Structure 1
Amino acid sequence: MERGYPAGTVDEYLAALPEEQKTALESVRRMIRAAAPGATERIGYQIPMFEYHRNYLVGLSVTDGDCCLHLMSPPLARQLAGPLAEGELLGCTVHFAPERPLSEETVRRIVGLRTAEIDASVFARAR
């Protein structure tokens, strides 16, 4: 079961987590920031979310035992379907163990695909 922690900011959310999950999500957060420097952070749906061109890019959360990277895109989830090198894709969410955070390569790939998807959508609306 996913847990929302009462928080007004991403830092407050992360501070409320158990240490191992906090460390893992902070690592993934740094990778997302590096992969999408124009993205902004906020709490949405009671979890940390990154926004890019006014669209949700990805989100972070925890379950009782895992950490989660929310893809925010069923088409992207279908594109990534099948065995992943890291974590497990369930619906539109990549679950991973806190002791095995996602690699920079995986985060860059997911964020790159998602930003391209958003860019295409923004470009299509601008036409």
Structure 2
Amino acid sequence: MNRSNKNNVMSARERIEAFCEWFDLPIPDLMYEPDGDIRINETFFKWCDEEQPCIDWIATGDAKAMATAYRQKYQCDGSALSDFKKTVRKLDPIERDAIHMAVSLHLEGTAPLDQALEVAKNAIDEIRAKAA
């Protein structure tokens, strides 16, 4: 079974808008087909050269290329991710909840990640001080 586009529910226009939102980029003035698909032309290629999106995902909605690139990066050098996992495993459930809340606030757009994690760190420090 080919599952590449199983969860593709966004149009190319929506994927470009999401990409621009994620990376705080202006939405490009591109041409679209009536169904929302991107019109592949020189303007599109110029935007891709400048902003470096995953073209497979932008044009077709196929996230496999992004998942593959992520996986290859961390298979080759997963030390930072591995260190993060080791650190998180040392946290007790309440401390993990503080980290989870920080990431959730960031994903909801409520707080920048660095600020949310700083609040979580302060909460963890306070929990540990009370326990000591």
Shorter-chain TM-score tier: under 0.3
Higher helix share: 2
Q: TM-score, normalising length from structure 2?
A: 0.26
Q: TM-score, normalised by structure 1?
A: 0.27
The structure whose Rg is larger is 2
